[in-house]
Amino acid sequence: MRKFKTEERLQKIITTAKWRQFSLGVIMENIHDPHNVSAIFRTCDAVGVPKISLLYTFESFPKISKTSSSSANKWIEAEKFNDTKKCYDNFRAAGYKVYASMLNQKAMSIYDIDFTQKIALVFGNEKRGVSSEAEKLADETFYIPMRGMIQSLNVSVAAAVTLYEAQRQRALKGMYEKSELDPQKLDELIDKWCDK
C-alpha cells in the first residue's frame, strides 16, 4: 500500500515520476563547491534528470546540503565514479553519447545538439573546467553561445542553461507525455518515492 499524506501529494509523485527522462544523463566532473553541486541537483530535478554521475578523479566527493539542494538529492539518484573511462563506458553500454562542456574548435553550440537522443552531459570543475581526459574521451564537445567579454558561466548556471534547452527540445517532441519506463518499473519508482 502506498504511503502518502494527501491525494494531491500522491498525484504530484505520480506525475513527476512519469516525467523523469531516463535517456538524459548528467556527469559532474570534479566540481568543488558543494553549493554548485546542490544547485545542479535542483536543476536536474526540475527538468526530470533521474540520476547524476559524480566523477571525481581529483577532488573529494562533495557533501550535498539538503538546505541548498532543497532536498532535490532526495529525488535524484547519485552514482560515484573515480575513473573517467569506466564512467563513460557505463553510459555507452546503455546507448548514450557523451558530450563534454568545452570551448574548443570542434565544440558544437547547444542549439545545434539533438538533446532528444540518449545523451550524457559532462560539466567540469569551476576553475579547470572539464579535464583533458574527459574532453578527449567524449564523443563530442559543446559550448553555450555568449555575447559578452567573459566566455564562461558559473558551472551551475551553465548546467541550467544547457538542461533547459534539453527540456525545451524534449517537450516539443512530446517526451514528457509518456513515461520512458515500462508500467512495472514506473510503479516501482512511485512506490519507492511514496516511502520517502
161 inside domain: yes
* C-alpha distance from residue 190 to each of 28, 53, 182, 194 (Å): 26, 22, 12, 6
190 inside domain: no
> Where residue 33 sits, what CATH number does that domain have?
3.40.1280.10
182 inside domain: no
- Label residue 134 exposed, middle or buried (CB < 10 Å: 0-12, 13-18, 19+): buried
142 inside domain: yes
C-alpha cell at 167: 527540456
15 inside domain: no
Task: Please give the Cα distance from 65 to 71 (Å, whole number).
Answer: 8
The candidate with the shortest Cα–Cα distance to 71, out of 46, 54, 47, is: 46
- Tell me: the pLDDT tens digits for 3-22? 556 889 899 999 999 999 99
Give per-10-residue mean pLDDT for the chain (196 aa): 72 95 98 92 97 92 61 88 97 98 94 98 95 97 93 93 98 97 95 88
Q: What is the pLDDT of residue 111?
A: 98
97 inside domain: yes
Q: What is the pLDDT of residue 61?
A: 78
Tally of domains within the chain = 1
Q: What is the pLDDT of residue 138?
A: 98
Q: What is the pLDDT of residue 70?
A: 54
Q: What is the pLDDT of residue 103?
A: 87
C-alpha cell at 99: 558530450
Q: What is the pLDDT of residue 123?
A: 98
Considering the entire predicted model, what is its pTM? 0.92
Q: What is the pLDDT of residue 67?
A: 52
1 inside domain: no
**The domain containing residue 142 runs over which residues?**
22-175
Backbone angles phi, psi at 99, to 5 degrees: -115, 125
193 inside domain: no
